[in-house]
């Protein structure tokens, strides 16, 4: 098994066993971003070969705060499968994750394919609907610590998504207020403008980055636009709710 396949197996196994694994970059200092995306694909392909179905993509590192945290100025992307879907209003099991956190987001549902360099207008024209959403991120690395290459290989920490009601995308969603509550207490506030200044820019970037990997965004895909605030830790017993102005609320519980 070559080294990239070995990393993919290591990360896939960490996800399945909900057990942290060491970072790649401190040992393999030559590990590149390009190789990291190959590892991500190999790792997600292992999931697909077990019967999971691709449902779309997620954008990560889309806010200035996240970029500064990881020390990059480019967004990253990851792959979503049906096994990551958490039904809105349901309870997820904390035991299935290593050290999960939650990010308030918005999600796009696509009605047409999108590939390569596209304008914001073309991206918007390909959107069927927009919804309030949350991503459960769960780095498979010890202490939730990683370099850019590590986190890309680890499917940009993606491990779950919860989607609220779909809405007509012709509303102005450039700067909608967002509240994240845990157990009824407001823990984060933000705006959809935190996503690259306007969430549609995240979709434009998704089309370009996915095409660089020889893939495309398909009709029917979900695209998670990116985190809007810092991501609090999840713990058993919590009720977690995100409310996006004009789009409504989405919630789940942790057990």
Residues 17-76 that bind ligand 0L1 (CB under 6 A): 60-61, 66
Contact map string, positions 127 to 146, toward ligand 0L1, x by CB under 6 A: --------x-x-x-------
Contact partner at residue 139 from Mg ion, ligand 0L1, none, CB < 5 to 8 Å by partner kind? ligand 0L1
Residues 81 and 64: beta-carbon distance below 8 Å: no
In angstroms, give the least distance from the CB of 80 to ligand 0L1. 11
Give residue 246's region: left, alpha or beta (phi > 0; psi -120 to 50): left
* Residues in 152-181 that interact with ligand 0L1 by CB under 6 A: 156-157
Q: Which long-range contacts (CB under 8 A, 24 or more apart) does 187-193 make?
A: 187/232, 188/104, 188/228, 188/229, 188/230, 188/232, 189/229, 190/104, 190/228, 190/229, 191/228, 192/106, 192/225, 192/228, 192/244
Residues contacting ligand 0L1: total by CB under 6 A: 12
Q: Is 154 in the site for Mg ion (CB under 5 A)?
A: no
The widest CA-to-CA distance across the chain, in whole angstroms, is 51
Task: Give 151 or 210: the residue with its C-beta nearer to ligand 0L1.
Answer: 151
Residue 151 contact among ligand 0L1, Mg ion, none, beta carbon within 5 to 8 Å by kind? ligand 0L1
Dist. CA 155–CA 140, nearest whole Å: 10
Residues 35 and 8: their CA atoms lie apart, in Å, by: 11
Half-sphere exposure of 50 (CA within 13 A, CB side): 11
Tell the smallest beta-carbon distance from residue 125 to ligand 0L1 (Å). 25
R_g of the chain computed on alpha carbons: 17
Q: Is 215 helix (H, G, I), strand (E, B) or coil?
A: coil
Minimum Å gap between C-beta 154 and ligand 0L1 is 8
Of 32-40, 48-56, 127-135, 165-173, the window that binds Mg ion (rule: CB under 5 A) is: 127-135
| Residue 103 in contact with Mg ion, rule: CB under 5 A | yes
How many Cβ atoms sit within 10 Å of the Cβ of residue 40? 25
In terms of CB distance, is 12 or 138 closer to ligand 0L1? 138
Does residue 175 contact residue 194 with C-beta atoms inside 8 Å?
no
Contact flag: residue 226 with ligand 0L1 (CB under 6 A): yes
Of 12, 35, 135, 154, the one binding Mg ion (CB under 5 A) is 135
Instruction: Give whichever of 112 and 212 is closer to ligand 0L1, judged by the CB atom.
Output: 212
Point out which span in 37-45, 101-109, 210-218, 237-245 binds Mg ion (CB under 5 A).
101-109
**Which residues bind to ligand 0L1, rule: CB under 6 A?**
60-61, 66, 103, 135, 137, 139, 151, 156-157, 226-227
């Amino acid at each position: 098994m070559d080294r990239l396949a070995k990393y993919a197996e290591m990360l896939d196994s960490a996800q399945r066993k909900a057990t942290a694994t060491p970072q790649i970059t401190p040992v393999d200092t030559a590990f590149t971003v390009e190789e990291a995306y190959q590892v991500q694909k190999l790792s997600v392909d292992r999931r697909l070969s077990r019967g999971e179905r691709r449902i779309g993509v997620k954008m990560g590192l889309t806010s200035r705060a996240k970029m500064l945290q990881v020390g990059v100025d480019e967004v990253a992307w990851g792959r979503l499968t049906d096994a990551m879907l958490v039904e809105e209003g349901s309870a997820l099991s904390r035991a299935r994750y290593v050290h999960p956190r939650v990010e308030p987001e918005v999600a796009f549902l696509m009605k047409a394919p999108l590939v390569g360099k596209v304008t914001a207008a073309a991206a918007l024209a390909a959107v069927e609907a927009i919804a309030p959403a949350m991503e459960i991120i769960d780095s498979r690395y010890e202490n939730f610590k990683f370099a850019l290459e590590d986190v890309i290989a680890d499917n940009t920490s993606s491990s779950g998504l919860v989607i609220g009601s779909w809405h007509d995308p012709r509303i102005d969603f450039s700067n909608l207020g967002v509240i994240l509550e845990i157990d009824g207490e407001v823990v984060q506030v933000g705006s959809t403008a935190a996503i690259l200044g306007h969430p549609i820019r995240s979709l434009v970037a998704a089309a370009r980055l996915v095409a660089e990997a020889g893939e495309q965004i398909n009709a029917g895909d979900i695209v998670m636009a990116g985190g809007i605030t810092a991501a609090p830790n999840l713990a058993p017993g919590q009720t977690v709710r995100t409310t996006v102005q004009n789009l409504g609320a989405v919630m789940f519980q942790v057990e």
